[in-house]
Amino acid sequence: MKKCIALVLLVIFALAGTASAAGLDFGVVLPTREETRWLGDEADFLAAIEEHGYSAQILFSQKDSATEKANVETLISKGAKAIVLCAFDAAAAAAAVEIAHEEGIPVIAYDRIITGTDKLAYYTTFDSAAVGRAQGEFLVSKLEAGKKGNNLYLYSGALTDNNSFLYFESAWQVLQPLIADGTFIVRNCDKAVEYKDKYDLSRDEMVEIMSVIDTEWTMSVCKTLAEAHLTAAAADAKGEVFVLGPADDDCARALSDSFHADGEVTKVWITGCDGIEASVQYIIDGKQSMTVYKDPKNLVDATLVIIDAILEGKAPETNAVYSNDVIDVPSMQCPVVTVTTDNIAEIFFEGGVYDGSKFVNWQ
């Protein structure tokens, strides 16, 4: 029902924005409708548009940089005074930022920083390093004291998304000392084994590792990778397994399904991220071990603080700075929280995110 309402509102505000003689207050470009995460962000943007009476439009790029650029050009043609862009490809999106800048329109990178340009105005993000650390620390917390040779499977987000490197780097720095001393044995990536003694990885070294375990933020790719890794793994690489899932709950569920389907796997500890509703049931059922909750409303609200300042002709207040490899971008950073069965009621049910009565086997 929530999705249907969001779609109806999208049409309404798209038409309203098109008809506005004064132009759009802002436009939003999100990467795809195929990932649950972005539908939640869309719904929160739409709610804010309705509540505050903005003239705005939301477009999706469907994981295609050419479509993304065309969407930005469409918003420019409709007089958008600011553009919120969640890039599919961090580097390719620089061209769209440059086009908007030439028209005097500031671009706010949303959730994913855009690299390779000095024209990016602002960035709104969650604490990406905290996400990876939380995932790594959770896996470490489930180790049996003193036990060596624990089976570790690593997975990363898409190489086109700069956040994937931030997540992986911070998780690696938690896990690496335990890989180096033999507490963990990486079972699905020879490059990670090759670099097991290196705490600080270069960007190129991360690419070498991540290109083997890149899920592309896609459930079908997760399934294919996990099945291939498990098929290649010997029996001693199964049993109890620790899985660093990419920072995406849809991917975590796909990986979980594959690992749980293998008869030689007896226990799965697996990390996720975002707090997607479907993963709440997985956590309750013990099929997903945790999620790092990133409340999209917080990110939308932070973005609107910047937009409101732009519309008022003021300099937005920010609370962080992120480098996009060319400049330090003024940023708004939002917090994250680890959710397990221990605090799922407090964060999700008592917090009003989800209705606890909808979930099976929860009391």
Q: What is the pLDDT of residues 83-115, one digit of tens each?
A: 999 999 999 999 999 999 999 999 999 999 999
pLDDT of the residue at 220: 97
Residue 297, token pair as written in the block? 């409303």
pLDDT more than 90, % of the chain: 92
Predicted confidence (pLDDT) at residue 1 exceeds the cutoff of 90 = no
pLDDT more than 70, % of the chain: 94
Q: Select from 254, 300, 294, 251 the least CA-distant residue to 274.
A: 294
Q: Select from 202, 219, 214, 38 the least CA-distant residue to 111.
A: 38
Rg (CA), the chain: 21
DSSP per-residue string spanning 121-164: -EEEEE-HHHHHHHHHHHHHHTSPTT---EEEEE-B--TT-HHH
DSSP per-residue string spanning 73-133: HHHHHTT-S-EEE--SSTTTTHHHHHHHHHTT--EEEESS---S-S---EEEEE-HHHHHH
Contact 327, 94 (CB under 8 A): no
- Classify each residue of 209-228 as buried b or exposed e, where b means 16 or more C-beta atoms within 10 Å of its C-beta: bbebbbbbbbbebbbebbee
Coil, strand or helix at 293:
strand
Structure confidence by residue, pLDDT tens digits, 260-314: 999 999 999 999 999 999 999 999 999 999 999 999 999 999 999 999 999 999 9
Residues contacting residue 174 through CB under 8 Å, at least 6 positions apart: 132, 133, 136, 137, 140
The top-level CATH class assigned to 2-120+295-332 is alpha beta
Q: How far is the C-alpha of 14 from the C-alpha of 144, rounded, in Å?
A: 54
Tokens 């389907």 — which residue? 261
pTM, full prediction: 0.87
User: Same CATH fold, 128-294+339-358 and 2-120+295-332?
Assistant: yes
For the chain, what are the domain ranges?
2-120+295-332, 128-294+339-358
Q: Which residues pair with 240 in a beta bridge?
A: 267
- Torsions phi, psi for 53 (to 5 deg): 70, 30
Structure confidence by residue, pLDDT tens digits, 163-218: 999 999 999 999 999 999 999 999 999 999 999 999 999 999 999 999 999 999 99
The architecture (CATH level 2) of 128-294+339-358 comes to 3-Layer(aba) Sandwich (3.40)
